[in-house]
Amino acid sequence: SARVLGDAAAMKRLEAIVHPLVRAQEMAFLAKARAAGARLVVLDIPLLFETGGERRVHAVAVVSAPAAVQKRRVLERSGMTPERFEAILAKQLPDSLKRTRAHFLIDTGRGFDSARHQVRGIVRALSGPGRRPQVRD
């Protein structure tokens, strides 16, 4: 990724190769979930809004943390630099906009136990009485 991050043409070529493969795996995963009778599935899709992927799902949960917390966590990763972090952020919608477009928000800035509680609430909301979400293509 370091080779293509600052090169728009190279990034476009890489995405043209990777995105169809990822989409095929997503479709296979959904088909398997549907065949197993799953009522709820979770897809972890980077750049969901940026690629129009929100049109393919019933609900979107955005996982977010305050900017300072996010930056600290990312910079703790091996091989990450402030410049690379900024380049990655530049490809994404601002967090504030993603939050407004989400059906649900998981705020990881309040710790793991809080995030787990939020996720349980989302699962209840999506699979509770009267809700019949279906796996869709």
Q: Residue 93 — φ and ψ, nearest 5°?
A: -65, 150
**Quick one: 109 exposed, middle or buried, by C-beta within 10 A (0-12, 13-18, 19+)?**
middle
Could you read off the pLDDT of 20-53 as tens digits, one per residue?
999 999 999 999 999 999 989 999 998 899 989 9
Q: How far is CA 19 from the centre of its chain?
A: 14
Residues forming beta bridges with residue 62, ordered by sequence position? 105
- Please provide the DSSP assignment of 32-98 as one string: HHHHTT-S------TTTTTTTGGGG-S--EEEE--HHHHHHHHHTSTT--HHHHHHHHHTS--HHHH
List Cα–Cα distances, 86 to 10, 50, 66, 82, 137, in angstroms. 18, 17, 15, 6, 33
More confident of the two residues 136 and 16: 16
Give this prediction's pTM: 0.80
In tens, the pLDDT along 94-121 reads: 999 999 999 999 999 999 999 999 999 9
Residues 51-110 have pLDDT tens digits of 899 998 999 999 999 999 999 999 999 999 999 999 889 889 999 999 999 999 999 999
Task: pLDDT band for 11, please (50, 70, 90 cuts).
Answer: confident
Structure tokens at 120: 């349980």
Nearest to 103 by CA among 81, 68, 131: 131
Domains of the chain and any CATH numbers = 39-127 (3.40.50.300)
